[in-house]
Amino acid sequence: MLASIVNPLILGISIGSILLISALGLAVIYGAAGVINMAHGEFIMLGAYSTYTLQSTMGMPFLLCIPCAFFIVGIIGFVIERNLICYLYNRPLDTLLATWGVSLVLMQSSRLIFGSDVKYIAMPEFLSTNLELGILNFSTFRLFLIAVALILLFITWFIFYRTRLGIKIRAVTQNKEMAASFGINAAQVYSITFAFGAGLAGAAGAMFGALSIVLPTMGMHYVVEAFLMVVTGGGSILGTVFASTLAGEIQSIFAFIFNDTMARGLLFILIVVLLRFRPQGLLSTGSGRR
Partner 1 sequence: MFLKLDSISSYYGNTKILREVSFEVPEGSCLCVLGRNGVGKTTLLKTIMGLMDKTTGRIELHGNDINSKRTDERAKFGIGYIPQGRQILSKFTVRENIMLGTFARKDVVKEVPEICVDLFPYLKDNLDRKAGLLSGGQQQQLAIARALAVDPQILLLDEPTEGIQPNIVTEIGETLQMLNKKLGITVILTEQHIKMARKLGDNFIMMDNGKIEASGPIMELTDEVVEKHMTV
Chain residues in the site for partner 1 (CB under 8 A): 164, 167-168, 170-171, 174-175, 177-186, 285
Q: What is the closest distance, in whole angstroms, from the C-beta atom of residue 281 to partner 1 in the complex?
A: 17
Residue type, 68: C
Q: What is the closest distance, in whole angstroms, from the C-beta atom of residue 226 to partner 1 in the complex?
A: 25
Q: What is the closest distance, in whole angstroms, from the C-beta atom of residue 186 to partner 1 in the complex?
A: 7
Q: Which is nearer to partner 1, 88 or 220 (CB)?
A: 88
Q: Which is nearer to partner 1, 55 or 173 (CB)?
A: 173
Q: What is the closest distance, in whole angstroms, from the C-beta atom of residue 231 to partner 1 in the complex?
A: 21
Q: Which is nearer to partner 1, 182 or 277 (CB)?
A: 182
Q: Which is nearer to partner 1, 4 or 181 (CB)?
A: 181
Q: What is the closest distance, in whole angstroms, from the C-beta atom of residue 280 to partner 1 in the complex?
A: 17
Q: Cα(first)–Cα(last) distance of the chain, in Å?
A: 52
How open is the CA angle 53-142-9, to the nearest 5 degrees? 155
Please state, in angstroms and rounded to a whole number, the distance separating the CA atoms of residues 182 and 109: 42
**Torsion, CA 283, CA 88, CA 198, CA 118, rounded to 10:** 110
The alpha helices in the chain, defined as continuous H runs, are 2-28, 40-53, 62-83, 92-114, 140-162, 164-174, 176-181, 186-211, 218-233, 237-257, 260-277
Q: Which is nearer to partner 1, 164 or 276 (CB)?
A: 164
